[in-house]
Structures are given as structure tokens and as C-alpha cells.
């Protein structure tokens, strides 16, 4: 699978990416030796677009990815992010978008990753004390210095994206988008399509829930999903209806629920006229191969309609703090 999907600003990536977050503890424990093998397997299978962030594992996720890059830097389009202080496991203590912080965060990421350039550098969350234009000007300075090739933004509103594009081309917006998280379709996705910005849906499998393999009642104490309203017992049990629909579409296509969830996103890209590159994460090598099967899966109009109806019935917010994601600030 050679890189074939063109995001914005001329950034070409593999049609499916790999979400690195799952390789440091966030949805359960991880064996570091196995995690490196999983990363190599993703690249062997043709996934060259690898996603990480400085906060995943409080820096240890980038360090893990550096071990892949040591051997295969040229095979990878590397994306990382700045802005959050803390870690998904321990919680976040601050969000920073001020220029001195951005410059320092980038240098630390470059050091942890053992590389001298990031292909796609994302602002991870908005710090509302800093105008977006000011943050993107600082990010553009990093491009001028040759330390970053392309810029991205995560969980921005349509308005914030427009303002950012007035400063520097934006290659991609990375926000949550899946069968059970469709709020971005209202404003952000149309803005991205209009502005020539690609979309990188995160948590495309609903943090695993859409695959039907997650029992919300038995998540570990440190599992990040325990903090998300739609994983709370009552909501999760109502949301089994969405999983049932995904499962029934999968059964008719001789596919798996994960493949249906990913193929649904690729179909939305075609419907809405913008490049869409989901970044599912997994600790398991065989699931990488399974997820890649989505690229060859075609969903019929009636199946897309059934999945759309199921998504209308989702119970519970995707974030405990509504302003944490774009929807709450629109
Ligand atoms: N920008 C942001 O704010 C933000 C937020 C969240 C995530 N992200 C990025 O997006 C990436 C993906 O999101 P995510 O990890 O939250 O959620 P996801 O990709 O929707 O789901 C990941 C979960 O699904 C399971 N899984 C993967 N493939 C599967 C399959 N074929 N069958 C059954 N289960 C499967 C994994 O479990 P196993 O490990 O057990 O396979 C894992 O727990 C992250 O890795 C990260 O890079 C970004």
C-alpha cells in the first residue's frame, strides 16, 4: 500500500493511518516489546502514516516510536502534537498554545522521537487564552525553520480553522469522527472541504466500542473510557443498539464490525468531498491486517442509511467537558 491519499497542503499519506496512543497504557496494559513489533507490523503492512502526541504515556509513546524511526524514518509520515500538559492516564493539568511553549514542545518532541523533522505537527487542543492566529503563526515559524513540514489542528471549530488557514495552509484537522460521533459533520467537515483541508478521524472505532468487543462494565480503573459519559453503564447499555446495527451490516458483507466502522468513514469522505484518513489504534498485529480490509469494503446505500439511523440514537456525550471538543465551542 504506497501512500495514495493526499490530505491538504500536498501531504500524501497511506489511506489508513495507525493511531499510536493505544501502545502506551490508556485502554489497558501494554507490553513494550510487543508494542514495537506492532508498530513494525503496521509499516510492513503498508501503513506509513503514524500518529502520536507528546502527552501519550507522558512522552514514552514518542520514545517508543523513535525505536521504529531509527530503522525506518524514510518509510513513515510522522504526526505528533503539542498543547496538553500531563498524560491521558494521569489526566491533564494545563493546555498551552503560547508561542514559547510551542517552540519548546517541538524541540522536546524532536529529541524524544530522534528525528530532525516532523511531517505533520498538530495543535492538540485549544488554549482559549491565546488567539488561534497567534498559535498558527508560531507553528508556521517552525515550518520556516525546516523542523516541521505540514501543520494540523485537533478539535478546532470551523471558525478557528478558517482563521488558521488565513495564516498558513493546514494539511489536516484531526477530530473525533465515527458512526457514533458525527457532530463534526455539521460545521468542521464542510469547512475543511471548502478550504482544501484533509480530515483525520480519531477514535474511528469509537475507542473500540463499535467493534462489539468492549464491555463498558468491566473497564479497568485506569481505563480512560471510564471518564467518558457514553461509556457510563446506562448509556453504554443503550448504545449496544449501535453495535448491533454495525454487527448486522458486517455479517451481510462477510466483514467485521471494525471494517464496517472504517469503511463507513471512507464513504463519508466520498459523500462530503474531502480526503479522509482514519487512524485506528490497536495493540494486536492481526487487528492491523483486519482493519486494512476496510479499504476494499463497499457499503451499499441501504447499509449506509441503516448505520446513519443507528448513529442518531446514540446516548451520552463524547467528552465529559463539552468545551474540550469542537462541538462545545461552536
Ligand atoms: N487528537 C486527539 O485528541 C485524539 C484523541 C484520541 C485518540 N487520538 C488518536 O487516534 C488514535 C485512534 O483512536 P483511539 O485509539 O482512541 O480509538 P479507536 O482507534 O477508535 O479504538 C481503539 C481501540 O479499538 C480496539 N481495536 C482496534 N482494532 C480493533 C479490531 N479490529 N477489532 C476489535 N477491536 C479493535 C483496540 O483494542 P486492542 O488494542 O485490544 O486491539 C483499542 O482499544 C489514537 O491512537 C491516537 O493516535 C487522538
Here the CATH number for the domain that contains residue 288 is 3.20.20.100
Residue 277 belongs to some domain of the structure: yes
Residue 103 belongs to some domain of the structure: yes
Percent with pLDDT over 90 in the chain: 94
Residue 220 belongs to some domain of the structure: no
Contact 291, 22 (CB under 8 A): no
For ligand 1, the distance from its centroid to the CA atom of residue 169, given in whole angstroms, is 28
User: Ligand 1: which residue has its CA nearest to atom 10?
Assistant: 202
Average pLDDT, the chain: 96
User: Ligand 1: which residue has its CA nearest to atom 14?
Assistant: 203
Residue 307 belongs to some domain of the structure: no
pLDDT-based confidence at residue 256 (cuts at 50, 70, 90): very high
For the segment 256-282, the average pLDDT, to the nearest whole number, is: 98
For ligand 1, the distance from its centroid to the CA atom of residue 280, given in whole angstroms, is 5
For the segment 214-238, the average pLDDT, to the nearest whole number, is: 94
pLDDT at 128 over 80: yes
The cell numbers describing 309, all together, are 439511523
For the segment 220-234, the average pLDDT, to the nearest whole number, is: 93
- With cell 508498530, the residue in question is 39
Name the nearest CA neighbour of 285 among 11, 9, 23, 59: 23
Q: What is the CB < 6 Å shell around ligand 1?
A: 19-22, 27, 51, 124, 154-155, 174, 202-208, 211, 213, 258, 279-284, 287, 290-291
Give the chain's domain count.
1
Q: Which residue has the higher pLDDT, 89 or 162?
A: 162
| Per-residue pLDDT, 148 | 98
pTM of the model: 0.98
| Per-residue pLDDT, 3 | 60
| Per-residue pLDDT, 2 | 65
Name the nearest CA neighbour of 198 among 136, 276, 266, 268: 276
pLDDT at 1 over 70: no
Residue 134 belongs to some domain of the structure: yes
Residue 281 belongs to some domain of the structure: yes
Residue 81 belongs to some domain of the structure: yes
For ligand 1, the distance from its centroid to the CA atom of residue 317, given in whole angstroms, is 18
Residue 243 belongs to some domain of the structure: no
For the segment 43-49, the average pLDDT, to the nearest whole number, is: 98
92 is catalytic: no
- Structural domain of residue 23, as residue ranges? 5-208+265-293
Amino acid at each position: 500500500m504506497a501512500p495514495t491519499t493526499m490530505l491538504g497542503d500536498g501531504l500524501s499519506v497511506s489511506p489508513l493511518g495507525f493511531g499510536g496512543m493505544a501502545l502506551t497504557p490508556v485502554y489497558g496494559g501494554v507490553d513494550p516489546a510487543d508494542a514495537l513489533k506492532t508498530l513494525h507490523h503496521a509499516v510492513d503492512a503498508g501503513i506509513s502514516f503514524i500518529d502520536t502526541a507528546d502527552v501519550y504515556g507522558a512522552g514514552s509513546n514518542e520514545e517508543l516510536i523513535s525505536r521504529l524511526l531509527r530503522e525506518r524514518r524514510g518509510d513513515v509520515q510522522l504526526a505528533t502534537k503539542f498543547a496538553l500538559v500531563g498524560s491521558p492516564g494521569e489526566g491533564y493539568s494545563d493546555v498551552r498554545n503560547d508561542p514559547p511553549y510551542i517552540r519548546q514542545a517541538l524541540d522536546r518532541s524532536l529529541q524524544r522521537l530522534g528525528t530532525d523533522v516532523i511531517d505533520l505537527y498538530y495543535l492538540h487542543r485549544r488554549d482559549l487564552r491565546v488567539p488561534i492566529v497567534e498559535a498558527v503563526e508560531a507553528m508556521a515559524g517552525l515550518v520556516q525553520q525546516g523542523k516541521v513540514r505540514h501543520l494540523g489542528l485537533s478539535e478546532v471549530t470551523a471558525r478557528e480553522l478558517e482563521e488558521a488557514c488565513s495564516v498558513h495552509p493546514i494539511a489536516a484537522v484531526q477530530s473525533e469522527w465515527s458512526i457514533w460521533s458525527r457532530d463534526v459533520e455539521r460545521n468542521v467537515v464542510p469547512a475543511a472541504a471548502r478550504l482544501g483541508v484533509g480530515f483525520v478521524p480519531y477514535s474511528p472505532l469509537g475507542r473500540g466500542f463499535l467493534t462489539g468487543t468492549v464491555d463498558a462494565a468491566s473497564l479497568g480503573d485506569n481505563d480512560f473510557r471510564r471518564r467518558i459519559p457514553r461509556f457510563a453503564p446506562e448509556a453504554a447499555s443503550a448504545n449496544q443498539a449501535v453495535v448491533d446495527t454495525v454487527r448486522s451490516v458486517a455479517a451481510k458483507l462477510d466483514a467485521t464490525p471494525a471494517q464496517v466502522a472504517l469503511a463507513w468513514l471512507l464513504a463519508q469522505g466520498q459523500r462530503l468531498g474531502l480526503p479522509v484518513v482514519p487512524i485506528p489504534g490497536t495493540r494486536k498485529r492481526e487487528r492491523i491486517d483486519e482493519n486494512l480490509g476496510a479499504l476494499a469494503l463497499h457499503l451499499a446505500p441501504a447499509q449506509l442509511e441503516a448505520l446513519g439511523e443507528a448513529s442518531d440514537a446514540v446516548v451520552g456525550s463524547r467528552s465529559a467537558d463539552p468545551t474540550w471538543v469542537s462541538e462545545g465551542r461552536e
